[in-house]
Structure 1
Amino acid sequence: MVSEEPSLRASLEAVLLVVDEPVTEIVLAQLLEEPVARTTAALEELAAEYRDQGRGFELRRVAGGWRYYTSEACAHVVERYVTEGQQSRLTQAALETLAVVAYRQPVSRARVSAVRGVNSDGVMRTLTLRGLIEDAGRDPESQATLYRTTGYFLERLGLDSLEELPELAPYLPDEINDIEDVSA
C-alpha cells in the first residue's frame, strides 16, 4: 500500500502543534520543501479559516513566526485551568520594570532604577530568570550591562515586534517632567 504525502496545510498543522516557540515562514518552507510564498499563503488561509469557524484556538503571527494560541474568547477558561492553585502573575514592580525595559531598551539597571525611583536590581533578576528580558551587551561609556526584552516577551504579549507596543503618551499625566532630565 502506497501512502500519500500529507497536504501542505496538514503538514503545517502537524509541525505547528509541536513547536514551543513561533516558527518563521522561511523555516517552515524549507522544512516542507515548499516556496515561501505558498507557505505564507497557506498559513494565512489556515489562520483565517480558524478565526471564521470560531475555533477555541487561533493561528497567529507573533515574534516573527507562527504558532497556535488559545482564542481570546476561551482565555478565561484556559486561565482558570492553568492557574488553578498557582500564582505566577508579575508584581506591580515587575510590570513597571518590564515597561521601562520595553520602551527604553537597551537600558541599564541603573537607568531603570532612576526612571522608577527605586532600586530595581532584584526585579531585573526575576525578569531575567523568567525569560522576559536578557543581556544586550555593555554600555560603551559606563560598561554597565544593558538589557532588552526577549522573543518570549513578544510572544507572551502576542506582539510581532516592538513597534506594536502601544504609545505611552495617552497614559501619561498632563504635567510631567522630561524623564531624561529627571533620571540623568
Structure 2
Amino acid sequence: MEGLNRKRGKSVKEDMKEKIALIEAALYVAGRPLDLKTLGRIIGSRSKRKTLELARMLMEEYKRRGSSLEILELEDQRFVLQLKSDYASKVRRLAVRPLLTNGPLRTLAYIAYRQPVSQKQVIAARGTHAYKHVKQLIEMDLVEVEKRGRNKILRTTEYFADYFGLSHNPAVMKRQIIRILNRMAEAKKSGK
C-alpha cells in the first residue's frame, strides 16, 4: 500500500489525512451512526483495526478543536458526528422541523423503553390516540410490528437506533435511554 501511495505521489501521512477526511465526510453526509465495515468501504480498507484507529484519530481531533460538533464512538463501535448537547437547545429552533411532535415522540419512547411490547399495552398506557402514533412510527420505519396470533408486538428498528445514535442491542439501548431521561430530568430541575 505504501508503495502504491508513493506511485500516486502521496505520502503515507497524506493518505492517512485523506482517509480521515473521507470518514468525516461520510459521518456528515449520513447524519446517523456508521459502523466500521461501512467506514472501511468508504476509505478502501478491509482492516477494521485500521479503520477504528483512523475514526478514533478523527474523534480526538474534534475534541482538540473544541467546536460545537463532536464525534462519538458508540458502545458497538459505530461512530456518529453530532451537535454537542450544550449547543442543541440554543439552535434547535433553526431546524427545519422536528422529526416528531411530542405525542408520537412519547409513544416512541414508551415502545423503545419497554420493547418488545404489545400494541394493546401501548394503547393502555398512552391512550387511543396512540393508534395514530404507532401507524406514523411504522410508516417512518422507526417501529416494526410482528403479528402473534391476534396480538401485534412492537419494537424499534435498526433505523431508529441509527437515527438516535443508540445501540442495536435492546438491553444496551434501554440503559442509554435511562441515561438520557435522567439527564433530561436533571436539566429540567436546574432550569436549563
Within the alignment, does 1:66 sit opposite 2:79 as a pair?
yes
State how far apart, in whole Å, the 2-side matches of 1:23 and 1:88 are. Answer: 20
Within the alignment, does 1:6 sit opposite 2:18 as a pair?
no
State how far apart, in whole Å, the 2-side matches of 1:152 and 1:38 are. Answer: 26
Structure 2 vs 1, CA of residues 106 and 55 (structure 1 numbering), >3 Å: closer, same or farther?
Answer: same
> 144, 149, 157: which one pairs with 1:134?
144
Structure 2 vs 1, CA of residues 23 and 87 (structure 1 numbering), >3 Å: closer, same or farther?
Answer: closer
Structure 2 vs 1, CA of residues 81 and 108 (structure 1 numbering), >3 Å: closer, same or farther?
Answer: same
Instruction: Point out where structure 1 has 5 or more consecutive residues left out of the alignment.
Output: 171-184
State how far apart, in whole Å, the 2-side matches of 1:99 and 1:59 are. Answer: 24
Alignment of 1:1-184 (within 5 A): 2-4=8-10, 6-7=15-16, 8-31=19-42, 32-62=44-74, 64=76, 65-83=78-96, 86=97, 89-91=100-102, 93-116=103-126, 118=128, 120-135=130-145, 137-139=146-148, 142-161=149-168, 162-163=173-174, 164-166=176-178
Superposed structure 1 runs of 4+ greater than 6 Å apart: none
Structure 2 vs 1, CA of residues 12 and 89 (structure 1 numbering), >3 Å: closer, same or farther?
Answer: closer
State how far apart, in whole Å, the 1-side matches of 2:52 and 2:21 are. Answer: 14
CA offsets 1:50-74 (integer angstroms, 9 cap, x no match): 0232112111235952232122232
CA offsets 1:5-51 (integer angstroms, 9 cap, x no match): 73232332233333243221122224422411121122122112202
Using the size of structure 1 for normalisation, the TM-score is 0.70
Higher helix proportion = 2
State how far apart, in whole Å, the 2-side matches of 1:75 and 1:150 are. Answer: 25
State how far apart, in whole Å, the 1-side matches of 2:98 and 2:26 are. Answer: 31
Structure 2 vs 1, CA of residues 120 and 20 (structure 1 numbering), >3 Å: closer, same or farther?
Answer: same
Partner SS, residue 138 of structure 2: helix
CA RMSD of aligned residues (A): 3.0
The answer to whether the 8 A contact 1:109-1:120 is kept is no
